[in-house]
Amino acid sequence: MSLFFYNAFIALYGFAAGIISPWNPKAKLWLRGRKRLFDRLETQIREKAGTDKSESRLVWIHCASLGEFEQGRPVLEGLKNDYPSLRILITFFSPSGYEIRKNYPGADFISYLPVDSMNNAKRFFDLVKPDLVLWVKYEYWYYFLNEIKKRNIPLLLVSGLFRKDQAFFKWYGGLHRKMLSFFKHLFVQGQSSADLLKTLDNIPPVTINGDTRFDRVTAIANTFTPIEEIAAFCKDFPVIVAGSTWQEDEEELDHYANTHPGLRFIIAPHEIDESHLRSTETLFKHTVRFSKWKKTFANPTINSSSTPPNVLIIDNIGMLSRLYFYATITYVGGGFGNDGIHNILEAAVYGKPVFFGPVFDKFSEAIDLLECGGAYTVENALELEKTMNELLQNQDEYRDACTAALNYTQQNRGATKMILDYIKDNRLL
C-alpha cells in the first residue's frame, strides 16, 4: 500500500463515519470524541502542570479498544509500581474502549487517538512529549509511528500477534513493513508470529514472551470479591454463564435455557442497549434483569411467581470477569459472528470449561485450550445442548476439563515481567 492509498483510506474512513453517524451510535461517538480533541488533551496536561509529577517521565500506551486495554493493563500497572512518579497517557481508537475506560484512575491522561495525519502527529508529540511508547497488539498508524521514529522515542510492541493473511506479508504491504521497522522491539505472543516476522527484512529484534492477558486475568481471579446477588440467583443449581454474547450466540442458547428449568443461565450481552436487552428477553422465556433482581432478590414475596426465572440478564458493564467464578460451564460469545470469539481466558482462569462457536481460528488461546481439553467448540444449538449435557453428567470428564483450563492459564503467565525487565535493563525510563 502506498501513502496515496493510505491517505485515501483515512479520508474515506472519516467520511463514512460522518455518513452513518446519524444511525450508528459508535460512529457518532467516534466523531464526537475527536472534536476539539487537542484542546481537551491540552487542558488535561495543563491541569497537571505545577504538580510534583508535572516534570516526570511520560509513557504513552495506545490501545485500539477495550480488549487491548486489558492486554496492556498489566504492563501499565507494573510500570506505575516500578516508577511511582511516572505519568501515563492512554489513547483509544474505538469508542468501545474509550467510553468504558475514560475514567480509569490508573492513568494521568486518557484520550481518543487523533485521526492519523502528518500535522496531527506533529501536534500530538509537541504537546505530549512521551519518553516511551507502548503499542498494544496491533493497529498501525503510519504518521504517528513515523513521528516516533523521527524523534528517536523508544517504541515497543506488546503482545503482538501476526497472521499470514495480514498486509505485512503480502506483495502490497510495503508501507506496513516499513511501520514495523519503526519499532525498537517486538514482543509477540507465539512462535508462529515470530516465524512470520523472520520472513521479512529490516525487522527489529523479536521476543516470544506470551500474552499479557494471562497475567491480567490471573490478577483479577486472585482479587475476586463475591457478588451477593449472583450467588443468591445461582444457589445450588448448575450454572451456565454466557459472556460477551451477540444475538447469534443467544439464539443458540435460548432453547436450552427454555427447556431446562433446573439449570441457571447468566447472560451477559456484549451490547446492553435497550433494544438488545428487549430482544434477549424475547428469546428467553423466564428472565429477570440484574438491575431488577438486585432490588428484589432478598424478598421472596416480590420474586415469587408460578415459574421463577432461570435466566439472569446482566444489564451493566464491568461484572463479567467475576461472573465466570459462579459458572459450572462457561460460554464465550462471538464465535458465530465474522470477527470471532471474545476473551476466553477470563473464564478459563477460574478452572471452568469454556464453550464457543465455530469462528475461532484467529485466536491461538482457543486452539490451545481445545487441544489440552479445557474448551469445546460447537457448530449449532443441538450440538451445544448435547455436549453440555454430557459434560454435566460425566463428572470425570468435567473435572479433567476444569483442570486443563486452570493449568493452561497458570502455565502461560509471565509475559508482563519480561517486558518490564526489558524496560529496566535497557534503561528506557
* pLDDT of res. 308: 82
* pLDDT of res. 173: 92
Give the chain as a 3 state SS string. CCHHHHHHHHHHHHHHHHHHCCCCHHHHHHHHHCCCHHHHHHHHHHHHCCCCCCCCCEEEEEECCHHHHHHHHHHHHHHHHHCCCCEEEEEECCHHHHHHHCCCCCCCEEEECCCCCHHHHHHHHHHHCCCEEEEECCCCCHHHHHHHHHCCCCEEEEEECCCCCCHHHCCCCHHHHHHHCCCCEEEECCHHHHHHHHCCCCCCCEEECCCCHHHHHHHHHHCCCCCHHHHHHHCCCCEEEEEEECHHHHHHHHHHHHCCCCCEEEEEECCCCHHHHHHHHHHCCCEEEHHHHHHHCCCHHHHCCCCCCCEEECCCCCCHHHHHHHCCEEEECCCCCCCCCCCCHHHHCCCCCEEECCCCCCCHHHHHHHHHCCEEECCCHHHHHHHHHHHHHCHHHHHHHHHHHHHHHHHCCCHHHHHHHHHHHCCCC
* pLDDT of res. 49: 73
Q: What residues in the chain have per-residue pLDDT under 70?
A: 1, 50, 52-54, 298-306
* pLDDT of res. 48: 80
- CATH number for the domain whose boundaries are 3-210+414-425: 3.40.50.11720
Domains 3-210+414-425 and 220-411 share a fold: yes
Full-model pTM:
0.87
Domain boundaries, the chain: 3-210+414-425, 220-411
* CATH superfamily, with its number, for domain 220-411: Glycogen Phosphorylase B; (3.40.50.2000)
